[in-house]
Amino acid sequence: MTSSASPPRPELTTPGATIMDKNLPRRTLLASIGGLAAAGLATPAAARTVRSGSVTVNASLGMGGFPNPAWYISHTHANWYFKRGPLGPKTMDQLKNDFHIKWARVFARPDRYYNPDTGTYDLAKNYPYLDQAASYSSRLHLIISSPSVAKTPALWEEIVRTTLLDHKKRYPQIDSVVPWGEANQASSGDMTPSQFYPFYRAGYRAVNAVNAQLQPAIPIIMGGPGISRPRPEWMNPFFALYAADQDKDKRLDFVCYQSYGLLDTPIQAQSERSRVQSMLSGAGLNPATPVWVTEFGLYGGDTDGGTHGRTPEADLKHDQLVQAAGIAAVSRYYILGKMNRPFQWVVHHGENLRKDMFVEGLDGVRLPFGHVVVMLGMLKPSLDGERLDMRISPGAAQTDGIGLAALAHADSSRVAVMYWNYQAETGGDVYDTTITVDNLPSNLFSGRRVRIERWLVDATHNNYNYNGTTTFAREMDTTTDTPVTKVVQRVRLTKNAVGLMLLTPR
């Protein structure tokens, strides 16, 4: 085993030693160490370096709550639904029971239900699609977008109002709307801010009219501009137009956009919210306006990150694991950057399968990305609890978010640690990692043994592309022989591996 030439700086704050607890049962240690070989990835020796790493958690030092990116999910791409139909029952069962979804992002595509020749609507076409999302999520975030329908701002206001009057009655959990998606993209109009703003104004007028007419228990809020990436050259003129708008009923309840291009620099996600806040301030707007990233990921559009000599089939399987680890990395930085609502993309994409959480054509069979979103939910399933202080060495923050990283959380029932080794497309480093959870909360663990459960997703564990597995199996499930105040585990994290450890009192 080799390590870097000089000791790396630890990431984050609290100093502390990595000490093996003498009370940890021998069978636990043997299971942990034995797992190192089992988790190995068959990578040519010259292509990888095995490094030592450590994650040290102070389980009694809380760092505050956070919106969990696992709570916000994009239901199937609207194109996928209209081509393939509703999700299967096994997939739906998992979305309801295994994921921890609180908000589902859904789409209304007027080109599917509005006839411009007759001016008539068949909104029931959306019902099977929206019924499914409404069945597993307590809130719905609705995108109304249809670049193929020729429209004026007046017509768009009518379309948005008519759509919302119908859908809000049927789905009272619709709490937020974006009246146009990716206006800056060629596929959605390739509009300038000045071309787009009249349609944005039409959107907020429609939302105000629906709220006034229905007086819903959950009023609809509206935001924008909903563009692809938070580009200052687009956002700043949009904010200036909004600031100059003299309508006393104008609204920008949240700022939203979609973020890609994070494949090699996931750390950029941490500063996105503060950059948007600076743009708001520059326009004389409220910098405390919530910021939502309504899609985020590694692979924008139909991109693949380069095949690097792999066949298309092998590259897709490779990239589906990169996607899983990369989303863990990006999610962490959105948490650290205090992003208000970060929406995962997507249950089924249907076009670029790198973005899918489930295997195309197999009901209820998760890909690594789906497992990772479930693991994020297990890390923090509810509003209860706080993120925990930790020390990571070597820290991925020194390499743009690539490398070893982790998140830890404690609530009223358990302590959880999620950890990963994100290597993007071309990295090969392997981390033999010591995970130490010290100062277990006495109000929860005092005088009680500790159950230790671990899960692993990598090239050979919980990966359908490796052996066709359809389950999500634990790597470990054991209990200490005696009460302990510290738990130490050793794990091998191959490239783009993601793990989760839950500690509960027994």
Q: Of 24-28, 72-76, 211-215, which range is least confident?
A: 24-28
Beta sheet of 341-342, edge-to-edge order: 72-74, 103-108, 139-144, 174-178, 221-228, 254-259, 291-296, 341-342
CA distance 396 to 406: 9
Percent of the chain predicted with pLDDT > 90: 84
Confidence grade of residue 148 (pLDDT, cut at 50, 70, 90): confident
Percent of the chain predicted with pLDDT > 70: 90
Note the helical H segments in 98-177: 110-113, 127-136, 153-170
Q: Which residue has the higher pLDDT, 421 or 6?
A: 421
Contact 116, 150 (CB under 8 A): yes
Q: What is the pLDDT of residues 271-294, one digit of tens each?
A: 999 999 999 999 999 999 999 999
pLDDT given for residue 18 in this prediction: 30
Structurally, what CATH architecture does the domain formed by 69-379 represent? Alpha-Beta Barrel (3.20)
Q: What is the pLDDT of residues 445-499, one digit of tens each?
A: 999 999 999 999 999 999 999 999 999 999 999 999 999 999 999 999 999 999 9
Contact 438, 58 (CB under 8 A): yes
Rounded (10°) angle between helices 312-336 and 269-282 = 60
pLDDT given for residue 47 in this prediction: 59
- Residue 179 has what DSSP assignment? S
pLDDT given for residue 6 in this prediction: 35
pTM of the model: 0.90
Where do you find CATH 3.20.20.80 in the chain?
A: 69-379
Structure tokens at 14: 């609290």
Fold of the domain built from segment(s) 11-65+386-505: Immunoglobulin-like (2.60.40)
User: Does residue 33 have a pLDDT over 80?
Assistant: no
Confidence grade of residue 14 (pLDDT, cut at 50, 70, 90): very low
Confidence grade of residue 146 (pLDDT, cut at 50, 70, 90): confident
Mean per-residue pLDDT of the chain: 91
User: Does residue 171 have a pLDDT over 70?
Assistant: yes
Note the helical H segments in 399-455: 442-445
Where do you find CATH 2.60.40.1180 in the chain?
A: 11-65+386-505
3-state secondary structure (DSSP) of residue 197: helix
User: Does residue 34 have a pLDDT over 80?
Assistant: no
CA distance 176 to 190: 24
User: Does residue 44 have a pLDDT over 70?
Assistant: no
pLDDT given for residue 20 in this prediction: 40
Q: What is the pLDDT of residues 365-397, one digit of tens each?
A: 999 999 999 999 999 999 999 999 999 999 998
Q: Of 46-55, 200-209, 216-225, which range is least confident?
A: 46-55
